[in-house]
Amino acid sequence: MHNHLKPVLLISILACTALASHAIDEATFSNFNEIQTQHFVLDIDINFSRKVFSGTQTLHMKSLNKDLAEVYLDINDLTIYSIEDEEANNFEYKIDSPNPILGQRLTILIPSDQRGKENYIFVISYKTSPTAEAISWLTPEQTSGKKLPYMFTQSESIHARSLAPFQDTPSIKSTYVVNTTTDVEFVTRVSGNITYDYTDCMSRYSTFEMNIPVQSYLLAIASGNLVERRIGNRTFVISEPEEIEKVANEFSELEDFLSEAERLTIPYEWGVYKLLILPPSFPFGGMENPLLTFASPAIVPGDKSSVDVAIHEIAHSWFGNLVTNNNWTNFWLNEGFTTFLERKTVRNIFGEDFMKVTAKLENQTVYFEILDYGLDNGFTSLHPVFNGTHPDEALSDIPYEKGFQFLIYLESLIGEDYMLEFLRSYLKNFAYTSIDVTNFISFFSEYVHQKFTTTDAEKILSKIDFDAWIYAPGLPPITVDFETKEYNDAIELAQSFLDAKANATSALQIFKSFSVNLKGLFISHLIDNQEIVDDCMAQYIYDTLQLGDEINGEVVFRWLIVAIRSGQLRAPFESADEFVGSIGRMKYVIPVYQAMLDSNAAIAKEIFNKHEDFYHPIAIKAIQDIFSEDVLISA
């Protein structure tokens, strides 16, 4: 049934419709179907004492509309001083009143004698606000060195507009140059190749270039006491000097991961790969900024047990960064595909069981997330309806894991070799563009028709319920199988504690032999059966398995949930307090706050107030959200 190669019209039209003039993105004010940024030059002073960027954003734009009279841009919390053309002639502009989610619309008025041009250059002088959503300013105390302050940005999803004016939509891709000036003691890194670096006695001037067109949410800037070390042919790590040894050691195999992901896909186009380990308040595990992945120190426990997060970010070099979702409804095209490539790479490096255990653990997480949202909640769909909510509010494991399971399901219908070959042609076809799910579905259907006889292709395609998988809310319509012996061992061990039949000696031996994710599955099973776990049983498990020795946050945060819910750890929740005050990764702190909140809201709030200054603005908002939901429910 394979290899009946039929002559097929390669759907080259798709590549054009991909950047069609009628994409919709509710989360931007920009009229990106009428005029498009092709290149920008951002030239900023990074001022640590005032906590602002100031300078110019120069947008090189191409008009698709001969009658264009107004250009709409996204800004949030910016002060605009002037907008000029390249000859310093002023444009008139106006700024709408703020929308609490989207920020403000900046309108540039094109005078009638300048309309009808194909290319426009807008030089916008501006400064950011100290409260910019995208920018985190850390005090010296929040760093390892404790001498210099530190700054980093997070643009995804729609935060780039708070660091400069943009057409802030993933539908628009452009190349860029970023010039930064800081006081001389700071080292700056930007998502781009560093092409110039100069210091005089006062200041440091650096220039970075990105020559592959990318979306605004990939712009990233970090500045502080940074050092960089080459660890492989194309791979580098960056951190404060205090950590560089540990980080270099943890990721000594980074080049192998990159090569393996590359072997599964198409050549890595970005040149080098740099991984920057941030201070602990970074709210995510990692962020795939091209040439400058940002990652939490949570992925550097010291025993290489969380390197798969780096593999996920590497995988974004193809899915997300080369082929991009055109709006936040299609986010699973970034994350589901990246998770798929991550797991294939992980399997080839660490083995089938490791991959399946991870898939099983994350399935557990996503399963409860879906139940939490409610089976008919639109955010449980792979094509969520936003209806005015902030794209960050839909951020969950659903686009990752339901998307991954869908791709595994498709693979089960055509076989792995065809699935990987399909992904390579998908990458080649859609590289440098932003697409939606319909582009993927047509391309997949074409591919199946190309590889199978008409009868077989129809048979395969008719099995796939695209509506149920993609558009409908709820659990995945089909359960793919990730069971392994290890998985059963972990569940059995947890069950033996629940049944009060555990053999303490052998339990400890078995538990110590588990990988981090298997330990996670073990604890997950306790969480699923929380009603059976009382404080006394939790204490017994904690002592028997020496859980106080666990260093990986994946294990610690899950255990804290059990400990708090069972009453083993009571207010003032000392060890949880210490944990949420030491790491700002939202995956860890939000469920721990939720558990504390359910147990003792007043103390949970006190703990949050104490640590608030330590967190990133995005994390603060997310934690505040769980507190306010609680208020709503109890009111």
Ligand X SMILES: *[C@@H]1O[C@H](CO)[C@@H](O)[C@H](O)[C@H]1NC(C)=O
CA dist 453 and 561 (Å) reads: 52
3-class secondary structure per residue, 224-275: ECCEEEECCCCEEEEECCCCHHHHHHHCCCHHHHHHHHHHHCCCCCCCCEEE
- Of 400, 409, 447, 593, the active-site residue reads 400
3-state SS, residue 223: strand
Q: Does 50 bind ligand X (CB under 6 A)?
A: yes
Q: Is 193 helix (H, G, I), strand (E, B) or coil?
A: strand
Structure tokens at 117: 């041009």
Residues 6+ apart with CB under 8 A from 390: 101, 157, 158
Transcribe 271-334 into DSSP letters.
S-EEEEEPPTT-SSSEE--TT-EEE-GGG--SSSTTTHHHHHHHHTTTBTTTEEESSGGGTHHH
Specify the residue, 176 or 608, whose C-beta has the smaller distance to ligand X. 176
Q: Which does 363 bind (CB under 5 to 8 A by kind): Zn ion, ligand X, none?
A: ligand X
Residue 541, SS3?
A: helix
Based on CB atoms, which residue is closest to ligand X, 72 or 205? 205
Any contact of residue 79 with ligand X (CB under 6 A)?
A: no
Annotated ligand binding at 34? The verdict is no
Which of the choices ligand X, Zn ion, none does residue 293 contact, using the CB cut-off of 5 to 8 A by kind?
none
Alpha carbons within 13 angstroms on the beta-carbon side of residue 405 total 26
| 353 counts as binding ligand X under rule CB under 6 A | no
Establish whether 355 is an annotated binding residue: no
Known catalytic residue at 531: no
∠ at Cα 273 (272, 277), nearest 5°? Answer: 140
Report the C-alpha gap between 521 and 448 in whole angstroms: 36
- Burial (CB count within 10 angstroms: exposed 0-12, middle 13-18, buried 19+), residue 12: exposed
Task: Report in angstroms the alpha-carbon separations of 122 from 53, 59, 84, 231.
Answer: 18, 5, 6, 41
Counting contacts by CB under 6 A, is residue 98 touching ligand X?
Answer: no
Token pair of 584 as six digits: 């700002």
Interface residue with ligand X, options 99, 454, 503, 513 (CB under 6 A): 503
Check residue 193 for interaction with ligand X (CB under 6 A).
yes
Q: Print the binding letters for residues 288-327 with Zn ion: x by CB under 5 A, - otherwise.
A: ----------------------------------------
* 587 is an annotated ligand-binding site residue: yes
Q: What is the pattern of x (binds ligand X, CB under 6 A) and - over residues 461-480?
A: ------------------xx
Which of 133, 250, 260, 313 does the annotation list as catalytic? 313
Provide the minimum distance between the beta carbon of 409 and ligand X in the complex, in angstroms, as a whole number: 10
Q: Is 288 annotated for ligand binding?
A: yes
Which partner in ligand X, Zn ion, none is near 196 (CB below 5 to 8 A by kind)? ligand X
Position 24 contacts ligand X (CB under 6 A): yes
Stretch that binds ligand X, among 13-21, 209-217, 297-305, 615-623 (CB under 6 A): 209-217
Stretch that binds ligand X, among 90-98, 124-132, 357-365, 602-610 (CB under 6 A): 357-365
| Tokens of residue 29, six digits | 């004010």
Q: x-or-dash pattern for Zn ion, window 337-376, by CB under 5 A?
A: -x--------------------------------------
Check residue 41 for interaction with ligand X (CB under 6 A).
Answer: yes
286 among annotated binding-site residues:
yes
Q: How far is the CB of 499 from ligand X (least distance, A)?
A: 14
CB atoms within 10 A of CB 325: 24
Task: Write down the least CB distance from residue 388 to Zn ion, Å.
Answer: 25
Quick one: which H or E segment has residue 511?
helix 504-513
Work out how close the CB of 543 gets to ligand X at its nearest, in angstroms, rounded to a whole number.
Answer: 16
- Token pair 């582009």 is at which residue? 439
CB of 223 to ligand X, least distance (A): 11
- Annotated catalytic, 400? yes
Q: Which of 62, 229, 234, 621 binds ligand X (CB under 6 A)?
A: 234
Instruction: Examine residue 387 and tell whether it contacts ligand X (CB under 6 A).
Output: yes
Q: How far apart are CA 358 and CA 346, in angstroms?
A: 10
Count of residues in contact with Zn ion, rule CB under 5 A: 2
Site for ligand X in 120-179 (CB under 6 A): 179
Q: Strand order of the sheet with strand 135-138? A: 135-138, 150-153, 221-224, 187-190
89 binds ligand X (CB under 6 A): no
d(C-alpha 179, C-alpha 164), whole Å: 13
Name residues whose C-beta falls within 8 Å of residue 251's C-beta, 6 or more positions apart in sequence: 231, 235, 237, 275, 307, 310
Tell me the HSE value of 218 on the side-chain side, using a 13 A CA sphere: 31
Strand 52-63 relative to strand 35-47: parallel, antiparallel, unpaired?
A: antiparallel
Which of residues 205 and 350 has its CB atom nearest to ligand X in the complex? 205
Before 157, cis peptide (omega within 30)?
yes
Shortest separation between residue 634's beta carbon and ligand X, angstroms: 23
Instruction: Choose, by CB under 6 A, the member of 157, 207, 223, 433 that binds ligand X.
Output: 207
Is 350 annotated among the ligand-binding residues? no
Query: Is 312 annotated for ligand binding?
Result: yes
Ligand-binding site membership of 103 (annotated): no
* Binder among 72, 350, 386, 542 for ligand X (CB under 6 A): 386
Judged by CB, which is closer to ligand X: 369, or 625? 369
**CA distances from residue 91 to 83, 114, 119 in whole angstroms, order as listed:** 6, 11, 15
Token couple for 267: 């050549």
Is 388 one of the annotated binding-site residues?
no
Binding site as annotated, residues for a peptide: 154-156, 283-288, 585-587
Residues near Zn ion, by CB under 5 A: 335, 338
Residues near ligand X, by CB under 6 A: 24-27, 41, 43, 45, 47, 49-50, 179, 183, 193, 196, 205, 207, 209-212, 233-234, 270-271, 290-291, 327-329, 360, 363-364, 367, 385-388, 405, 436, 479-480, 482, 503, 505-506
Binding site as annotated, residues: 154-156, 283-288, 312, 316, 335, 585-587
**Which sequence positions are flagged as catalytic?**
313, 400
